[in-house]
Amino acid sequence: MNRTDLHTHTTASDGTLSPSRLVALAKKEGLSSLAVTDHDTLQGLPEALEAGKRLGIPVIPGVELSTAINGKTVHLLGLFVDPESRFLNGLLEEMRSRRQDRNRRMLKALQDAGLPVFPEDFPPSLPMLTKTHVGAVLAQKGFASSPMEAVQRYLLPGGVGYVPKSRIAPEECAAAIRKAGGAVILAHVNQISSQPEEALAAAETLLSQKTADGLETLYCQYDSFWEQETQKLAEKFRCLRSGGSDFHGDMKPGLSLGKGYGNLRIPEEFAREIQAFCRKNAG
């Protein structure tokens, strides 16, 4: 079976591999295609697309946008987007501005709690400061055993460094993705809420209102319950299916590109169906 990976990250956001190194790894792993979906930015796509041409592996231009529904965080993937879209780039600029303001408040909250994390702790060349980068510094300074543990302990709701995001509405995010020629995919449904009923209800709302064109039915952290429930949603709404490892490189130890934690297999058919959907809508 030809395999793809439709959810990955590079150093353009919070991954540890450059776009070209990520594409080279996809080639090494035998993937038939690869989507690069950095958080709130398209800046890694030119390098990734060039590497794809050079290495002979199709690179799908994408992005991951953070939004919310009923107070719950929701991530929307845009797949097969035009990296030059002025409308999408304008939205991303607004999102980056909001992120920078939040980061300033996050670092101040950590400092006030006795956790010394300062702007100078991060490389000046860092394209985008994220919670993962902050977690890595906290781990390096001995406040946690890993970046992910630091994020969970200090930077999520209830943590001393938690600062809520200023969200852009799901409908606005979806409109920007579609104006860029892409498909809107609801990512990792299991992460919307710790209560499965709430997570599935939010997914139903986004699909029934046509805010999302599809959802991830295969994901690195899905168990059989989530695979079955997301597949049921895909069948109920006759929508697109997608899947991905959510690869971040060393930021997520033990997670492999295209394989997740070992048993992930995303058929290339998913990518073909999403591309056909985008072409049909463009026509």
171 and 37 within one domain: yes
100 and 74 within one domain: no
Angle at 229 between CA 225 and CA 230, to 5 degrees: 120
Q: Is residue 161 in a domain?
A: no
Q: Assess whether pLDDT exceeds 90 at residue 165.
A: no
Number of domains in the chain: 2
277 and 202 within one domain: yes
What number of helices (H) and strands (E) belong to the chain? 9, 8
Residue range(s) defining the domain that contains residue 122? 93-155
29 and 9 within one domain: yes
Q: pLDDT (tens digit, 9 = 90+) per residue, 83-106? A: 999 999 999 999 988 888 999 999
What's the pLDDT at 1?
67
Angle at 13 between CA 107 and CA 241, to 5 degrees: 125
Q: Which of 103, 127, 106 is nearest to 115 (CA)?
A: 106
Alpha-carbon 45 to chain mean position: 14
Q: pLDDT (tens digit, 9 = 90+) per residue, 24-37? A: 999 999 999 999 99
Q: Is residue 178 in a domain?
A: yes
99 and 75 within one domain: no
Q: pLDDT (tens digit, 9 = 90+) per residue, 45-85? A: 999 999 999 999 999 999 999 999 988 999 999 999 999 99
Could you tell me the pTM of the whole model?
A: 0.87
CATH label of the domain that carries residue 206: 3.20.20.140
d(CA 244, CA 55): 21
Percent of the chain scored above 70 by pLDDT? 99
Q: pLDDT (tens digit, 9 = 90+) per residue, 103-136? A: 999 999 999 999 999 999 998 888 888 888 999 9
Percent of the chain scored above 90 by pLDDT? 88
97 and 87 within one domain: no
